[in-house]
A and B are shown apart, each in its own frame.
Chain A
Amino acid sequence: MAECKKIRKLITLAHYDEISPEEKKALAEHLASCPQCTKEFNRLQKTFQIMDKRERKYRGSEFWQTFDQKLNLRLEKESRIKKTSSRGFFPKVALKRLIPQLAAGAAILILGIFLGRYIWIPETPTIPGKKLSSPPLFDTSSSLNISQNFEKIRMVLMSIMNFDPETEDVYALDLIRQQILFEHMAALNEEIQKSALASKDKRIYELASDLEIILRQMANLENPQNSQNIKMIQSALMQKDILFRLRLFNIRHQRMASPGHTNPVI
């Protein structure tokens, strides 16, 4: 019986020609002497005959053409993914080099944001020559007090003149904020020129004219916090002796304002 069990396994394997010549010989000898196993052998042959009737749907060239097209589309997609993933966003070597640069850039950006929060103030759009909407720092009314306005301008320009860009913090001057003021001052000097022209006061007209030019340049500087620009302003003020001329005007005005003199209020 144990022999028959072994032989039945051999019958299956023999069908597929997966037994050695010795096993083949042993099988043949056993089948010749065992009717039970012979019946089993026959049943198995019939089983295989039925299983051989299984039909597979053969696919024509059209099917395989469509198959190839679909596959190629998917492969194209895969190729693109492969290229992107192998490269990453940047090539690996370039990325290594970029890391310190990116870190430095990020640090500068953070510093910029930090400083910007303290320095930057939204500018009020200004139209040269037009009356500004913010409260007037200078008297531009019809009863224009030239002396007082010149004194205020002199104080502002003095702070710039006394500033040492080599040793002091440029940002302490806050020239970006002061550019609005310079714009006001330039507009004021334009008015003073008109008044001086009307009163035929050549000295006031020339001083106001020089002041207007310098103040407009200061108001229009793209980077007023630059120490070179501050030096340039200082140089222009010195060339035209602006502070000295303003001081002289005030002294003269004070004398005129003393008893016996007429107040030069226009």
Chain B
Amino acid sequence: MPETEQQLVNKAQNGDRDAFQDIVDQYKKMVYFLAWDIAGNHQDAEDITQDVFIKVFRHFRKYSADSKFSSWLYRIAVNASIDALRKRGRKKEDPVEDFDFVGESTQPWTNKNAHNPESQTDHTNVQHQIEKALNQLAPREKTVFVMRHYNDFPLKEIAEILHLSSGSVKSYLFRAVQKIQKELAQYHPALEAENG
């Protein structure tokens, strides 16, 4: 951990609200996207992100400088997101209801296809397929996959955050990719694996 971050954390641990706000500013977007990727919808992601920082504030004294602050923070975020995912699974809600794709998206890919209804439909279909593929994964598989694929966490750090061995993380990732490929193959025959 860089010294400056450790100092910031120490200040926040001692009740410095400005230091705490700096930590929030530094991590809120990462936590939000991680929560969204795992929990699967915007509303849960926002609630989880809020809850994560409240938990950090509440239990800051439990954090020890022996481990990386970011790992501690992301562990809280991942656990909260997996909890939300499980609750959501029990409620059996539509996993792709959050995909309205209208509004604040700034990705040029979307804008390029905005005037082409056919492309827009294809695009929406692909989004549904991807979300469906992600949602059929077990929580751990999904967590490892989204952390590595969409959030660029190195496998070593994922292992540290999830308290897993490096081998277990690799296995989760491999299984997740296999399942995703199989799911997408329903819509994209070229992905279908040959026997053998």
Interface residues of A (CB under 8 A from B): 9, 12-13, 16, 18, 36, 39-40, 43-44, 46-48, 50-51, 53-60, 63-64, 67-68, 70-71, 74-75, 78, 82
* B26-60 near A? 1/0 per residue, CB < 8 Å: 00110011001100001000100110011001100
Q: Quick check: is B154 within 8 A (CB to CB) of the other chain?
A: yes
Query: How far is it, in angstroms, between the C-alpha of A16 and the C-alpha of B146 when the chains are bound?
Result: 12
Query: How far is it, in angstroms, between the C-alpha of A60 and the C-alpha of B36 when the chains are bound?
Result: 16
> Contact at B154–A50, with CB atoms within 8 Å?
no
> Contact at A74–B50, with CB atoms within 8 Å?
yes
- Supposing A16-B148, A59-B32, A74-B54 touch, asked if A9 and B104 sit within 8 A by C-beta, the answer is no
A109 to chain B, nearest CB (A): 39
- Supposing A58-B104, A59-B104 touch, asked if A47 and B36 sit within 8 A by C-beta, the answer is no
Contact of B174 among A12, A67, A71, A74 (CB under 8 A): A12
B147 to chain A, nearest CB (A): 11
Q: Quick check: is B177 within 8 A (CB to CB) of the other chain?
A: yes
Which residue from chain A places its CB closest to the CB of B188 in the assembled complex? A50
A2 to chain B, nearest CB (A): 13
> Contact at A46–B103, with CB atoms within 8 Å?
no
> Contact at A53–B24, with CB atoms within 8 Å?
no
In the bound complex, residues from chain B placing their C-beta under 8 Å from that of A75 are 17, 20, 53-54, 57
Contact of B149 among A51, A53, A59 (CB under 8 A): A51
- Supposing A16-B148, A54-B127, A78-B57 touch, asked if A68 and B181 sit within 8 A by C-beta, the answer is no
If over half of B's interface residues share one DSSP class (helix, strand or loop), that class is named, otherwise mixed; here it is: helix
Size category, B interface: 35 or more
In the bound complex, residues from chain B placing their C-beta under 8 Å from that of A55 are 101, 105, 107, 109-110, 127
> Contact at B106–A58, with CB atoms within 8 Å?
yes
Q: Quick check: is B73 within 8 A (CB to CB) of the other chain?
A: no
> Contact at B50–A50, with CB atoms within 8 Å?
no
Interface centre among A48, A74, A75, A78 (most CB of B within 10 A): A75
Contact of B104 among A12, A13, A51, A63 (CB under 8 A): A63
> Contact at A40–B109, with CB atoms within 8 Å?
no
> Contact at A60–B150, with CB atoms within 8 Å?
no
Can you list 10 contacts pairing A with B, beta carbon distance less than 8 Å? A12-B177, A13-B170, A13-B173, A43-B193, A46-B188, A47-B181, A50-B130, A54-B150, A57-B42, A75-B54
Query: How far is it, in angstroms, between the C-alpha of A73 and the C-alpha of B140 when the chains are bound?
Result: 33
Which residue from chain B places its CB closest to the CB of A77 in the assembled complex? B54
In the bound complex, residues from chain A placing their C-beta under 8 Å from that of B46 are 67
